[in-house]
Chain A
Amino acid sequence: MKKTFFLLLISFTAGASGTQLPTGTVNGVQDTRHSVLALTHATVHVSPEKTLKNVTVVIEDGRIREYLENSSVPDHAVVINYRDMHIYPGFIHLDAEVGLPEPAKRPPFSWGGPETLQTTVDGAYNTNEAIKASYRAADDFNPSQKASRELREAGFTSALTHRHDGIMRGTGALVSLADEPAQLTVLAAQASQHWSFDKGASKQDYPVSLMGAVALIRQTLLDANWYTQQNQMTDLDLAALNNNTTLPHFFSVDNWQQTLLTQKISDEFGLTFVVKTAGDSYQSLNPVVNTGQTLIVPLNYPKAPEVNSILDSYHVEYSDLKKWQVAPFNTRLLAEKGVRFALVPGDNKKGLTTFLSDLRKAVTHGLSEQTALAALTTVPATILKRRDIGHLEKGARADFIAFDQPIFNDKAQLKDSWVYGERMEINPRLPLSEGNYTLTLDDTSHQISVHFNKGQLTLKPNQDTDHTFQAKMDGQLFTLIVDEQSPLMAWVADGQIKPLPTDRDWMMTFIQQSEKVTQSDSEKTVKDIPNIPNPFTAYGLANSATPDKVLFKHATVWTNEDGGVLENTDVLVVDGRIKTIAQDIADNKADLVIDAKGKYLTSGIIDEHSHIALLSVNDVAVNSSMVRMQDVVNPEDVNIYRNLAGGVTAAQLLHGSANPIGGQSALVKMRWGVSPQEMLIDGADGFIKFALGENVKRSRNQQSVRYPLTRMGVEQVYRDAFNEAQKYQTAWDDYNNLSRSKKKKTSPPRRDLAMEATAEVINQERFISCHSYVQSEISMLIHVADDFDFKVNTFTHILEGYKVADQMKAHGVGASTFADWWAYKWEVNEAIPYNAAIMDQVGLVTAINSDSAEMSRRLNQEAAKTIKYGGLTEPEAWKTVTLNPAKLLHLDDRMGSIKEGKDADLVLWSDKPLSIYAQAVKTMVDGVIYFDRDKLGALEKTIAAEKTALIKQSQASGEEKKPQADVAQPTLHCDSLITKDAILALDNGAES
C-alpha cells in the first residue's frame, strides 16, 4: 500500500506539471521556477460587484499580483493574450466527495432477519456506528484526476470534500482541484464538520427513522458534553466531536422538513448549521426562511412526468408537475427573502455536467447574476472563513475560470480553468477573435467581420461590396481567398494574423470585438413566479381565509354538555374561540354568517390514534422513549385535508408498535398550510406510545433475536426500564442536592434521553397510550404500573378490554379502540364489536380511534357502530370520537364539546352526525374554516384544470421527462416502518 503511494508520488513529481514538493526527493536536478504570467486584454470579474475591463492580470507564484491598465505588461512575464476572455473567480463546491473512496453500501433494513442491535465496528468508537465523528476526510484524500477535471469543467476550482456517510460524518477537507499531489492540494485538512439524518452504511438497526436520527444526534451531543467530565471510557468519536467544535458545521438534509429540524437541534444545543438542502425550500418557503440559516442549495430541477396519452394523466401527480414548474424559481425565491446561500450542482448524476446551464436557468427564472456568482464564490469562502479564494483581489489565489463570453450568456463556453496560477484548458479557444477586422489588400481596405459557426470560420463584408471573401483555418494556418483569386496564407499566433511571404501586399488586423463577447445576452425575459400552493400539494390551493368573527345561525347543536342537543341555536365564534351559544344572536356581531338551518353543529372529531402527517412511524430500540413524533410531523400530507373533510380537527400522532416502549406522541390540530411546529397543540401534555403483544415480540419474524420474544419478556422490559429510570432519577436527585462546592468536585451523571422520558412516565409527567390486545397483557401492565405507583393513561386498540374492564376501571385507565376490527392477527381472535360499548357502560372513558388514514375520515360512522353493537345512546356514541378522546388526551378543558370559551374546533354536518349519510359541510379549527364543502367542487375543478395545463406546458417544453409518474405515498399505520430504504409493514395483517 505504502509502496504504491510512493510510486504515485514519483510519477507526479516527474509529470508534465513538473511539481516538486519542498520536502520531496529529486531524481535529477532541481527545477524550481519563479513564475510570472501576464494575461492581457482580459475582462476580470474580481468579485460579484466589481469588474475590470481590458486589463492585464499579473500572476506571480500562483497568486494575483496586480492588474495593469492600458495593455501594459510587466517585466519578465510570460504573456498570454486573453482578449475576449471573461475571468471569474473559480467556484467553490461545498458538498463534494472528490478524492474520497466511495462509502460502503448497506443492505436495506428488513424485519425478516435477525436484528443487529450493536455496532459492528471494532475499536474505541461510538457505540452507534452511524456516529463517525472521528473520521477525517483528509486522511483518505487522494486527488482523482477524473473527478477533479469534471469539477473544473463545471467551473469549480476548489472543493470542500467529505465522506457522505453516517449521521455524524466527521470532518471535511478543503482541497484545490489542481492535478497535483495531495500534499499540495489539501488547503485545509480539518475545514468542517459534517452531519446528516441518514445513517448511511451503518449496519446497526437503530436508528431506522428520522426521529430516531434526531434522538441519536441529541443523545450524542449530550454524551460529548458528559465525556469531558468522565474517566471511565474512551470514545474516539465523542473526543473528535469535542475537538472540532470550532469548525463550521454542515448539515445535509433530504427535504425541507429536515431543514426545519436542523434548526430545532441548533436551538437546543446552541449550534449553527450551514444546511445543504434538497433544493426544495420553495415548498415551504417562509418556515425555511425563518430559520435564518445559511443554506447550500443544489440546483435540482425535477423532471416532469412522462405522459404518452391522455390516460396516463391518471398516473400523474399534480405535485410532480408543480415541482417541475416551481423548482427553477427556488434560488430566486430564497434570494428575494434575503436568505444567504451557496450553490452546488444538482443532486442527480448529471448535476455536474449540466451545472452551468442549470445556473443560467436559475438566472432566467429571476436569480440575479450577482447573487448567483456570490453563491459560488464569496458566500462559500465566507462560510469557510477563507480570504484567499472566492474573489480575485490582489493576493488571492489565482484560482479562476475564463469564459469566451459573459458567463450567463446562453452560448458562453468555459475555456480555461486556472488553479493556483496553473492553466488547464477545458475547451480550446478560437484561434481568432470574433469581431471586426480591417483587411488591406493592394492598397484597398475592406471592413470585414469574422465569425465562427460550429468551428467553421466565416468572413462577411460589413458594407455592400462586389468582392467575395472566403477563409479557412487549418490549425494555425489561415487561408484567405478574395474574389476567387489565388489563396493568401498567414500564420495565426496569439490572435495576430501574420501573412506568409507572397507577391501581394496584404494584412488583416483586429479592430473591435463582437458584441456577443462584450455584452450580456440582450434583456432576457425573466419568467413570472407561478402560484405556489400551501402546503405544496394539490389541496394546498384551498383558501381558508376566515374572518375573526363567525356566526352559525339556526343550527341543531350537539353540545356534549349538560344541555345536550340544542335546536335552532346560534353559535358565535370570535378569535378562534366559542364566544356565545344562544338563540337569535344578531347577525351584525359577526363578519361571516353561516346559515346552519337543518344542519348539525358539533365539536370536531379527535382521533386518539393516528399516523397521518408523519414522515416516519417506527424506530426499533426496545425502549424508544427518546424519539419524538413532533420531529417528523409532515404538514404536507394531503390526509390532513381529507381528515378535515371527515370532520377531524385534532389527533394524537403516535409512534408505531414495534417496541414495548415507543416514542413520544405529537398532539396536533388539523391546521392546513402551517409549519410542522404550528400543527402541534400548544401546552398539551406529553404522551408516549407503549405496545404489547405480537408486534413487540416480533411474532412474524422467525429469526428475531431481539429481547423480548414472549409476553413474559415484555413485562420484564417494563420492570427493568422503570427500575433503571428510578435509579437514574435518584442519581440526579443526589447530584442536584449536593452543595455548590461539592457539585464542582463531582461529575454529574450522564444524561440519558430514554431514561428521562421513562422517568417522566413514572412521575406522571408523560402519559401512556398503550397498544394492547389480549387480557393477560392488559392486566400485566396495570400491575406493573401499580407497583411503580403510576397510572396508565390509555389502552389503545384494547380489543379484549371488555374482558378486563373492571380491572381497568379500578386502575383508572381509559380505552381507545376500533369499532369492529378483528381477524387480522392471532391476538384479535376474540375481538368483538361490542367492546367499546361494554367498556363505556362499565364506566371507562372510551374512545373510537382510526389507526388508518382512510377510516379516520369516517370516525362519525365508526362511533355510530357503538349504537348497533351494544346499544350506546346517541350522545354516548358521539362522545367516543369527541369528548372522550379529548379527555384521554387531557384536552377536554379546551376541546371535545361546544361550550363558551372552548376552542372553535367545529364541524357543521349535513345530516345527523352519526348517520352514514352525514357529510362534513364545514370544518373549522381555531375559528378558521379549513374545509368548506360548498367550495370543494370548484376547488377540484381548479386542480384538474391546472393539472391539465401543466401537462400541456411540460409536454410543450421539450425537456426530458422522467420515466413515469408518482402514485400516492403509501399511508402509514401502527406497523409501518419507514427507513431510508423502504417502507415495510411489520405485519401484513389488516392494521392497514
Chain B
Amino acid sequence: MKTPLFTLLTLLIFQADAIRPKPAEPQVAPETFINATIHTGEGDVLKNAMLVIESGQITYLGDYQQTQTKGQVTDLKQQHIYPGFILTNTNLGLTEVDAVNASIDFKETGELNPNVRTAIAYNADSMRIPPMRFNGILLAQVVPVGGLVSGTSSVMQLDAWNWNDALIQNNDGLHVNWPAQRTKKFDYATFSMKLEKDKNYTDKVTKIKTLFKDAQAGHSPDNIKLNAVSAVFNGDKQVYIHANTPKAIIESIEFMQSIGIQKPVLVTDSAALPVIDFIISAEVPVIVSSVHDLPQRTDSPVEQPYAVAVKLQQAGVLTAVTYPGSMSARNLGFTAGTTVAQGLDKNTALKMITFNPAKILKIDDRYGSLAVDKSATFFISSGDALDMSGQQLKAAYIDGRKIDLNGKQQKLYHRYHDKYQLTE
C-alpha cells in the first residue's frame, strides 16, 4: 500500500490522465490591442491606450493611433493589460505533492551545494504551473532550498515543452542560507518556542566564507563546487542571501561586500525592519519572502508582515514581493494588493511583482514591464488584477505567444458544471 513503487505508479498514471495545455506556437502575425487600460509595471497607467506586438516583441505602446495598428485589432474596452507577474524564490516545477516524497526535488542533501542546478530538474509539465498562469504569473525564478548554500537557480517562462525552452536566464543566482546565532527550538518546560544558541553557528559561517574565498582565490580550477561559486565574481551569477534575523542580514551583507560582491540580493521577512537603514546604505535589493504571514512575535504589529514590503519600498529600497512555496503562489497578485491596504499606491504595488523583480533578476531589458522593444509577455484582465473580487484573466502572452490559460482545474470545473446543469 505504501511502497514507493506504488506511489510512483499512481503518480505516473495520474500524470498520463491529466495532460498539460500544449505550449503555444510562436507568434506569426502582429496583433494590436486598443482601448485598454495599460499598466506598464514601471509605475504608469495608460488609459484608452494601444499596444502592438510583433514577432514576440512590443512594437508600439501609447495613445491610439490608427496608422500604427497592425494585424488583428482587439478592442479591450474596460479591460486591463498587465505585464506578466514574476514569481521569485519559488519551488515551482520542483514539487508536485508536498506530502509525497517521490514528487519532491527542491532540496539536495549536504550543506554546500552551489553546483546543483534547478533548471535541469524543472518539470515544465508540472501540474502546479497552469494555475499560476491562470492568475497572471508568467515567469518564475526556480530556487533550491536546504543546507548553507542550497544551489543555483534559473529563471523560467511558464509555457514550455521542456526545461530547455523554458529557460530565460540560466544559472541566474547562487543561494546562500545565512545561519542565525540562535535557532528555534521547542522548550518543554515553558511549552513555547525558544531561541537556542546554535553551537555550530560559527562553523557554519566559516564554511560559507571559506567557500567564497576559496572560489575567489581560484586555486582549484577542477573543483566543481568552487567553479559554481566563482561565477559570482565576474557577474555571471548573482548572490541571493536568505537571512531571517537582523544580525544575520548585517553579517551576510558585510561579508559579501567585503569580498567584492556589492549587490547581493537579500531574501528576507520582517527581520529587515530593524535594519532598514543599514539596507538602504548597503544599497542592496530585497525580495520579501512572504506577505500573508503571521507577525513574528505576539507583540509585533498585528499586520506587520503585510507592511514589510511597504516600508522597504517607501524607504527607497528596490523591493520585490513573492510567495513562499508554490502551492498557493498563484495568489501573488493578491499579496501585492494587500500592500495597497497598508499604504502603497496600486502602481507601486504592481511594480513589486513585475518591474522590480525583473530588475533584481537582471532580466528587465526583456521582461517585467511593458515598453517598446521588450518581450510581449503580458496578460489581459477584465478587472483589477491585484484584487480577487470580480477579476478574470481573458488572455495571456509569453514572448508574443498566446498561451492556453485553461488547465485541469478549469476542465474539471466545466465537467461538473455541466453535470449539474448549472447556469453561468
Contacts and interface: CB of A to CB of B under 8 A. Distances in A.
Nearest to B340: A917
B218 interface: no
Contacts of B246: 311, 314
Contacts of A914: 389
A255 B189 CA distance: 11
B299 A317 contact: yes
A702 B341 contact: no
B245 A916 contact: no
A918 B341 contact: yes
A355 to B, nearest CB: 19
Interface in B179-195: 182, 184, 186, 188, 190-195
Interface in A300-352: 309-311, 313-319
Interface string A882-912: 0000000000000000000000000000111
B41 to A, nearest CB: 19
A969 B192 contact: yes
Contact of B297 (A822, A823, A877, A968): A968
A314 B274 contact: yes
B325 interface: yes
Interface string A958-989: 00000111111111000000001111000111
Interface string A837-869: 010011000000000011100100100110111
A940 B420 CA distance: 51
Contact of A982 (B186, B271, B417): B186
B29 interface: no
Interface size class of B (residues with CB under 8 A): 35 or more
A968 B389 contact: no
A692 interface: no
B97 A825 contact: yes
A538 B99 contact: no
B25 interface: no
Interface stretch (B50-58, B61-69, B199-207, B331-339): B331-339
Given A854-B292, A971-B294, A966 B194 contact: yes
Contacts of A982: 186, 188
Contacts of B1: 709-710
Contact of B327 (A821, A868, A917, A967): A821
Contact of A826 (B99, B196, B409): B99
Contact of B298 (A538, A645, A944): A538
Nearest to B195: A964
B328 A821 contact: yes
B298 A638 contact: yes
A460 B417 CA distance: 103
Contacts of B191: 254-255
A824 B327 contact: yes
Interface in B122-138: 127-128, 131
Interface of B: 1-2, 10, 14, 96-100, 127-128, 131, 182, 184, 186, 188, 190-197, 245-247, 271, 274-275, 292-303, 325-328, 330-331, 334, 337-338, 340-341, 386-392, 409, 412-413, 416-417, 420, 422, 424
Interface of A: 254-255, 309-311, 313-319, 537-539, 638-639, 641-642, 645, 694, 699-700, 702, 709-710, 802-803, 805-806, 820-826, 829-830, 832-834, 838, 841-842, 853-855, 858, 861, 864-865, 867-871, 874, 877, 910-912, 914-919, 936, 940, 943-944, 947, 963-971, 980-983, 987-990
B298 A318 contact: yes
Given A806-B420, A838-B417, A989-B99, A311 B274 contact: yes
B196 A963 contact: yes
Contacts, number: 205
A968 B193 contact: yes
5 contacts: A641-B302, A823-B327, A858-B292, A970-B186, A989-B99
Contacts of B422: 838, 841-842
A917 B193 contact: no
A434 B284 CA distance: 71
Contacts of B184: 967
Given A821-B327, A854-B292, A983-B186, A967 B195 contact: yes
Nearest to B330: A820
A804 to B, nearest CB: 10
B245 A315 contact: yes
Nearest to A987: B99
Given A311-B246, A838-B420, A968 B296 contact: yes
Nearest to A701: B2
Contacts of B192: 966, 969
B297 A642 contact: no
B42 to A, nearest CB: 22
A842 B99 contact: no
Given A868-B392, A990-B98, A968 B295 contact: yes
B294 A311 contact: no
Among B295, B301, B340, B388, the one with the most A-chain Cβ atoms within 10 Å of its Cβ is: B388
Contacts of B409: 832-834
Nearest to A809: B420
A982 B193 CA distance: 10
Contact of A871 (B97, B300, B424): B424
Among B131, B274, B302, the one with the most A-chain Cβ atoms within 10 Å of its Cβ is: B302
A917 B387 contact: yes
Nearest to A838: B416
A826 B97 contact: yes
Given A914-B389, A989-B99, A311 B299 contact: no
Contacts of B417: 834, 838
A36 B133 CA distance: 96
A966 B412 contact: no
B413 A838 contact: yes
Contacts of A970: 186, 193
Contacts of B325: 990
A830 B182 contact: no
Nearest to B97: A826
Among B99, B246, B328, B340, the one with the most A-chain Cβ atoms within 10 Å of its Cβ is: B99
Nearest to A917: B341
A694 B99 contact: yes
Nearest to B274: A314
B342 to A, nearest CB: 9
A765 to B, nearest CB: 33
Contact of A537 (B98, B190, B298): B298
B71 to A, nearest CB: 30
A966 B417 CA distance: 50
Nearest to B326: A823
B271 to A, nearest CB: 7
B247 A311 contact: yes
B327 A830 contact: no
A964 B299 contact: no
Contacts of B96: 823
A820 B328 contact: yes
